[in-house]
Amino acid sequence: GAGVSQSPSNKVTEKGKDVELRCDPISGHTALYWYRQRLGQGLEFLIYFQGNSAPDKSGLPSDRFSAERTGESVSTLTIQRTQQEDSAVYLCASSLVVLGSWLSETQYFGPGTRLLVL
Amino acid sequence: DAKTTQPPSMDCAEGRAANLPCNHSTISGNEYVYWYRQIHSQGPQYIIHGLKNNETNEMASLIITEDRKSSTLILPHATLRDTAVYYCIVRKYGNQFYFGTGTSLTVIP
């Protein structure tokens, strides 16, 4: 069974360009999360998808950031008009949410995409 | 909001037990304590979680104080591969995990 995979593993882009980051969750996992980790800092929550519910976008830092997920499969995080402060590792995680026991759900993380905006 | 406090760094001799403390004095009754670790250049890895009872698995033990205001992650026989940043997380509302800056554990040969 494969774990969470992300692509690309590294991305270098110029300021002002758009980038798309992809996450393939563990098959059957209903929940998917995106996080950002700047150099030397902890993880910062960005967005959360759970089944067919409306996503929790409360962590997105600006309207340049958006994410989509089709059903319970692949998710794409898009950053428009990238800025140098967007340089970070973007991590995706997935989990299996069992009704009635969401508090004890465990997230499984992908290896991340290292984004460098020049 | 429930928050965790951890020492920024710790050292441990190889083969000895590593005891990583975490304070979470504002934890709510239905919030779990989770521990993850992140080895350099990799994504975070789940270690263990608990509510109020002590927990043990193949990786570690989790000791939670009776008032639940603090906990300790114990790696019983630390190896060089345990060198990583260890995050103590209290589960907030919904399904979000809020990570702090963690404790950077260095296992010394």
- CA-based Rg of chain B, rounded to a whole angstrom? 13
Q: How many CB atoms lie within 10 A of CB B10?
A: 16
Residues A87-101 have pLDDT tens digits of 999 999 998 876 555
Round to whole Å and give the CA distance between A13 and A11: 6
Residue B64 is predicted with a pLDDT of 96
Q: Find the residue in B nearest to A45 (Cα).
A: B98
Asked if the Cβ–Cβ distance from A48 to B97 is below 8 Å, we say no
Which one, of B87, B86, B77, lies nearest residue B105 by Cα?
B86
Q: Find the residue in A nearest to B102 (Cα).
A: A42
- The first and second tokens of residue B77, run together, are 């026989």
Q: How do strand B45-50 and strand B9-13 relate by DSSP bridges?
A: unpaired
Residues B35-92 have pLDDT tens digits of 999 888 778 888 998 888 899 999 999 999 999 999 999 999 999 999 999 999 887 6
Q: Does A25 touch chain B (CB under 8 A)?
A: no
B72 exposed, middle or buried (CB, 10 Å; 0-12, 13-18, 19+)? middle
Which chain B residues are within 8 Å of A105, Cβ to Cβ?
95
- The first and second tokens of residue A97, run together, are 């949410």
